[in-house]
Amino acid sequence: MKKDAYFIVENLKKTWENADSAFTLDIDFSVDKGEMLCIAGQSGSGKSTILRIISGILPFEKGARLVLDGKDISTLPPGKRDIGMVFQNPTLFPHMQVEDNIAFGLISRKFAKKDARFRAAALLERFGLSGFAKRYPDSLSGGEAQRVALARTLIVEPKLVLFDEPFSSLDEPLRKSLALDIRQIQRELGFTGILVTHDIDEAKTMSDRVIVLKKGHLFWQGAAKDFKESHISSLPK
């Protein structure tokens, strides 16, 4: 863990139980500015739990520190952490058109609707959805909806973006296409991100570096290009 990194997770601990066992999450790691880090591991290893703690959805045990861009955000409420999150299933507002779904974060921050929609239009164009502004979420495919969800996250320019298995509900060809597209956008915009995925190819495509968890502890870490299926399949049960 780098002490001068852009995002630092220090002494993060949480004990929980699942249907088969109980174990403790205990991990330290860091992310550099502009880096995409992937957290991988078997089901129940604590991957998504880490994201929920970072975002403020779940509490953690005393002694942990979360530092983002030099600011300790450990005790801040979710809305004050300057973190965006993209979930497995896009959570779009069904009664809002696509442009207003994307602009929502700015409008809720008292931006003029005209300015917010202008910025939403720019993101729609970048995501290949220029003709979708007036459509409603129920008319979108899974991939289109996920693009809109990411655009809505990015429009407020969060310092950190969390991806919780964002393509797991999509078919394989679409997953690969979206992974490549979002990786390109991440490089162009330079945002910092953390990806949780069980898909080896997705991890290699979207991330710079991978850490593998075994029951809440760090088991392996390295460059994404060196990540192999055996790093997960060889984990003791």
CATH at 214: 3.40.50.300
Tell me whether residue 24 is in a domain: yes
How many structural domains compose the chain? 1
More confident residue, 2 or 108: 108
Q: State the number of CA atoms in the 13 A half-sphere of 161 facing the CB.
A: 29
| Residue at 110 is within a domain | no
**Interval 42-69: pLDDT, tens:** 887 889 999 999 999 998 888 899 999 9
In a domain, 125, yes or no: no
Do the domain assignments include residue 131?
Answer: no
What's the pLDDT at 121?
A: 95
116 in any annotated domain: no
In a domain, 113, yes or no: no
| Averaged pLDDT, 187-202 | 92
Structure confidence by residue, pLDDT tens digits, 113-162: 899 999 999 999 998 899 999 999 999 998 899 999 999 999 999 999 99
Tell me how far apart the alpha carbons of residues 164 and 87 are, in angstroms, rounded to a whole number: 5
Residue 133 lies in a domain: no
The boundaries of the domain holding residue 52 are 7-92+140-224
In a domain, residue 88? The reply is: yes
When pLDDT is averaged across residues 174-201 and rounded to a whole number, the result is 91
Residue 136 main-chain phi, psi, to 5 deg? -105, 155
The span from the CA of 208 to the CA of 36, in Å, is 5
Pair type for strands 65-68 and 36-41: unpaired
